[in-house]
Homo-oligomer: A and B are copies of this chain.
Amino acid sequence: MSTAVSPLAPKKYPEMPAIEGVRMATAAAGIKYKDRTDVLAMVFDAGTEVAGVFTRSKCPSAPVDWCRGNLAGGKARLLVVNSGNANAFTGKKGRESTAMTGKAGAAAAGCRENEVFLASTGVIGEPLDASRFSHLLAGMVKQATGEFWREAASAIMTTDTFPKVATVTVRLGDVDVTINGIAKGAGMIAPDMATMLSFVATDAPIAAPVLQSLLSGAVGKTFNAITVDSDTSTSDTLLLFATGAAAKRGAPRIADVKDPRLAAFKRGLGKVLKSLALQVVRDGEGARKQVEVTVTGAKSSRSARKIALSIANSPLVKTAIAGEDANWGRVVMAVGKSGEPADRDRLSIWFGDNRLAFEGERDPGYSEEATSRYMQRDEIRIVADIGIGRGKATVWTCDLTKEYVAINGDYRS
Residue numbers of A with Cβ under 8 A of B are 55-60, 86, 88-93, 123-127, 187-188, 190, 229-234, 313-316, 319-320, 322-323, 325, 327-330, 332-345, 347, 356-357, 359-362, 400-402, 404-406, 408-413
CB pair B58–A231 under 8 Å, yes or no, is no
Which of B89, B187, B316, B335 contacts A59, CB < 8 Å? B335
Given A125-B329, A230-B313, A320-B412, 7 other A-B residues pairs in contact with their CB atoms under 8 A: A57-B333, A59-B347, A60-B336, A125-B356, A127-B362, A315-B315, A325-B411
Expressed in whole angstroms, the minimum distance between the Cβ of A329 and any Cβ of chain B is 3
Among candidates B60, B315, B320, B332, residue contacting A89 with C-beta atoms closer than 8 Å: B332
Evaluate contact between A406 and B410: CB separation under 8 angstroms.
Answer: no
Q: How far is the CB of A219 from chain B (nearest CB, A)?
A: 17
Pick the contact of A319 from B123, B234, B409 — CB < 8 Å? B409
> Given A319-B405, A408-B315, are A58 and B340 neighbors across the interface (CB < 8 Å)?
yes
Please state if A409 and B323 are interface contacts (CB–CB under 8 Å).
yes
Query: Which B residues are in CB contact (< 8 Å) with A332?
Result: 59, 88-89, 124-125, 234
- A262→B85 CA distance, assembly (Å): 56
Q: In the assembled complex, which residues on chain B have CB atoms less than 8 Å from the CB atom of A411?
A: 320, 323, 325, 327
Query: Are B405 and A333 closer than 8 Å at their CB atoms?
Result: no
Question: Known contacts A405-B400, A408-B319, A409-B322: does B56 contact A92 (CB below 8 Å)?
Answer: no
Which single member of B347, B362, B405 contacts A322 (CB below 8 Å)?
B405
Q: Are B231 and A188 in contact (CB under 8 A)?
A: no
For residue A188, which residues in chain B have a CB less than 8 angstroms away from its CB?
Answer: 316, 333
**B residues near A126, Cβ cutoff 8 Å:** 329, 362
> Which chain B residue has the least Cβ–Cβ distance from A235?
B333
A338 / chain B contacts, CB cutoff of 8 Å: 58
Return the chain B residue nearest A232 by Cβ.
Answer: B337
Q: Is the CB of A333 within 8 A of B187?
A: no
Give the Cβ gap from A121 to chain B, nearest Cβ, in Å: 12
Contact B59 A344 (CB under 8 A): yes
A89 to B: closest C-beta gap in Å? 4
The CA-CA distance from A408 to B321 in the complex, in Å, is 9
A and B contact pairs by CB, cutoff 8 A, 22 listed: A58-B335, A58-B342, A58-B344, A59-B332, A59-B342, A89-B332, A89-B347, A89-B357, A89-B362, A124-B332, A125-B332, A125-B357, A188-B333, A230-B313, A231-B314, A234-B333, A319-B404, A319-B405, A325-B409, A325-B410, A327-B411, A401-B409
Bound together, the chains give a CA A322 to CA B404 distance in angstroms of 12
Report yes or no: A336 in contact with B58, Cβ–Cβ below 8 A: yes
Asked if A320 and B59 make an inter-chain contact with CB atoms under 8 angstroms apart, the answer reads no
Contact, CB under 8 Å: A337 / B124? no
Q: How far is the CA of A298 from the CA of B234 in the complex (A)?
A: 19
